[in-house]
Amino acid sequence: MTTTQLAKAEFSGYSKISFAELLPIVQALPQQEKLQLIEILQDEVIEDISPLEHYKTYWIWTPVNSYGTAEALMDAMSEDERNRE
């Protein structure tokens, strides 16, 4: 069971509190417990962005090279430079 799952199980019976109520509690924590909280929150955020995996490369197709956008931009920049001279 992950740290996040343990925390959720332990505090599942508690009512929800607002960020304004939570902030002073977090600020009063010792440094080590703040670091543990950061780890728990990080794990939770990572779970939320699933199915992405750590240290895995994902190739994302973009139309940049498909339609000559880079070449058109370079041409425009070159023309702009020629106009300045």
Spatial distance between the Cα atoms of 47 and 49, rounded to a whole number of angstroms: 6
**Are the C-beta atoms of 3 and 38 separated by less than 8 Å?**
no
- C-beta atoms surrounding 70 within 10 Å: 10
Q: Choose among 38, 49, 51: nearest CA to 3.
A: 38
Question: What average pLDDT is seen over the chain?
Answer: 79
Structure tokens at 67: 């339609």
Tell me the residue type at 72.
A
Written as one letter, the residue type at 31 is Q
Residues 20-53 pLDDT 10s: 988 999 999 999 999 999 988 888 777 666 676 7
Q: Where are the domains of the chain?
A: 3-84
